Structure 1
């Protein structure tokens, strides 16, 4: 049996040609493809500014810096995410804390957020930034989170690494209606890819300008940003401490080509999710719940085992699927249980809903190029394992 991965890129001949065209051009690093890709994402999301970078991690980092996150500040996010959603605060010298998840959506719980905010206000320890993570592509309850930001005075970065092509309240995720900055990832297993890469989108010109400066060493050639008059055409100034986070024209060209199929990719993911819902309905599983206000990008399809209804352990089911060539994964290990974070004082038991999720969750294969036959193999294999 051939291996079925949990996710993979979908590269067309047009995608390949777009990259080849760049290789034959005068620009390999930052040329015309980068602003063209930024404009395509901006137009799609209905947002005013976009800044490409070499990864979503880099985008999270410069987004935090653009919002002034630094030593003495606190950033909050979900424990059920990739570590980058939390690490970005630490890169800035800030502290990190977590808000437990909603048991149905697996996203950051608005109810828990409000309770934690009220407690933090009493301690004069409110977060500077909250980073809601749109797990699996389903957006968080952004309107309610935004309302809390108005009351408690924090900024919002949407970690939409899983979510490009989705919608919230019938608006594209990334419109930044309820946030300051939104981040997308273009890693190969994501909905579209630039091989590696990310983007930060915002409706605030000053935030976009700051992030564009930070992605390229803090260097500018813009006379309006310089501290004194230029010495000549060769002249540039470093006016901030930035990084080498630029996206190449080759990556941007691939992304620009992929954008043309984004809606098709997401539509196919929804077809696969609906088939999973039907094919797995008879099994002792909790299937993904979709919020009525959302249209998920469906980067992931996560099932949860019902431990009391099956004979095997979580690990035994996972290992059995892998042994049968089904490339399942687990998204994610709660960040606060990682050794690095436990050395900071976090403990197992701090966020019980997240830990309960981790003990039951399995990500089944989900990618736009997945065939019906491959999906049927996944479902029949899982059925045999659970009914053995």
Structure 2
């Protein structure tokens, strides 16, 4: 183990995955073919959503989702600072303002109370929407956020990039999968190699709204449709109805996604087994993300907090354990500081960031590898 590299996350590509891609590469369609639609339908079913739209990456998905929800220049949204920058950047792409609410110090998720305080500190209509993030794989309780949003006329765009397969039980004891569209207007998933479903790059948007779905289809592909063909035009006819983008995913990526999706439930079970081993080893030694009752964390990440975070990071890397930090708070990134966020008071997020470190978490992590990670982490603690 001393010479083996252990990353914080990695893809698992099987022979079935490879064969699925080869079969598609040998077919008639490399893009805009039947595999994309098949992937969308199977993904929608996996999260209990009505519609799914595959895109070339989750950032593109976030971008066209806020457009489909009507976000415009000068509008304002609320999101968490503990996320990848794309969760906030999507609003900036359309000229909207980003306002950050602090996190809950135990779950690391966007705080409902802090979000309510921020909304109620401004006149009604000041904000247009909320972008909560299922950080680390832990589902946000969107039922509670939905009530808050409805009270103030706001939409919800769920950033579920970390959480395919995660769920919470609502007040009716019904299982609400991340991205199922019951309490959010739309949701976005990622298929980056370190995520649950690896397509190289790729993303998926889910929604239960046919209106939003139709808008997303246009925005994904140049704003072009062939639906309104008239009798005196041939099969070449199309209309560009709005200014859209080329955010399409390929068929061979979709084929890989279909194969990976079939293993996701088993992967989430394995991720939770790994998380439980970490919790048992680190109980009373490190703080880690709290799991609320009646929730399933899909565990894209397993994060611990340590006072000497830089010391542990360096020690693990010296032992070829490539732990990572998730994330530098978005409001502390130079771009956001330069446009007026340098004096924002988000003490929970900043305290979390000063201590957080993500340990290796992926279904193919072996018991031997995990024990080595635990051993080296505890060695550092006791030095």
TM-score bucket (shorter structure):
over 0.9
Residues 76-225 of structure 1: pairs in structure 2 closer than 5 A: 76-121=78-123, 124=124, 126-169=126-169, 170-223=175-228
Q: Is the 8 A contact 1:157 1:179 kept in 2?
A: yes
Q: Is the 8 A contact 1:336 1:348 kept in 2?
A: no
Higher mean displacement: 333-342 or 293-302: 293-302
In 2, Cα distance between equivalents of 1:323 and 1:356: 26
Distance 1:348 1:265, change over 3 A: farther
Q: Does 1:373 align with 2:365?
A: no
Give the 4+ runs in structure 1 shifted more than 4 A: none
SS of residue matched to 1:75? strand
Render the CA deviation track for 1:206-259: whole Å, top value 9, x for unaligned.
101110110111111111xx7x77632211111110011001000100010111
Render the CA deviation track for 1:274-331: whole Å, top value 9, x for unaligned.
0111122253x102210113111110000011x3xxxxx3211211111111110011
Residues 2-13 of structure 1: pairs in structure 2 closer than 5 A: 2-13=4-15
Q: Is the 8 A contact 1:126 1:152 kept in 2?
A: no
SS of residue matched to 1:345? helix
After superposition, the CA RMSD in angstroms is: 1.2
In 2, Cα distance between equivalents of 1:77 and 1:321: 32
In 2, Cα distance between equivalents of 1:59 and 1:120: 29
In 2, Cα distance between equivalents of 1:139 and 1:323: 34
SS of residue matched to 2:45? helix
Higher mean displacement: 60-69 or 316-325: 316-325
For residue 191 of structure 1, report the CA deviation from its aligned partner.
0.8
Tell me what 2:322 maps to.
327
In 2, Cα distance between equivalents of 1:187 and 1:203: 24
SS of residue matched to 1:344? helix
In 2, Cα distance between equivalents of 1:84 and 1:338: 12
Normalising by structure 2, we get a TM-score of: 0.96
SS of residue matched to 1:359? helix
Runs (5+) with no aligned partner, structure 1:
308-312
Q: Does 1:355 align with 2:350?
A: yes
Render the CA deviation track for 1:76-120: whole Å, top value 9, x for unaligned.
110000000000001111111111000000000001011111102
Q: Is the 8 A contact 1:349 1:355 kept in 2?
A: no
For residue 265 of structure 1, report the CA deviation from its aligned partner.
0.3
Render the CA deviation track for 1:321-374: whole Å, top value 9, x for unaligned.
111111100110000000000011102552111000000000000001100000
Higher mean displacement: 22-31 or 230-239: 230-239
In 1, Cα distance between equivalents of 2:283 and 2:146: 35
Correspondence for 1:23 among 18, 22, 25: 25
Runs (5+) with no aligned partner, structure 2:
170-174
Number of corresponding residues: 376
Distance 1:208 1:12, change over 3 A: same
Tell me what 2:278 maps to.
276
Q: Does 1:67 align with 2:69?
A: yes
In 2, Cα distance between equivalents of 1:125 and 1:387: 53
In 2, Cα distance between equivalents of 1:276 and 1:350: 32
Q: Is the 8 A contact 1:137 1:298 kept in 2?
A: yes
Q: Is the 8 A contact 2:125 2:153 kept in 1?
A: no
Tell me what 1:341 maps to.
336
In 1, Cα distance between equivalents of 2:246 and 2:65: 15
Q: Is the 8 A contact 1:328 1:363 kept in 2?
A: yes
SS of residue matched to 2:304? strand
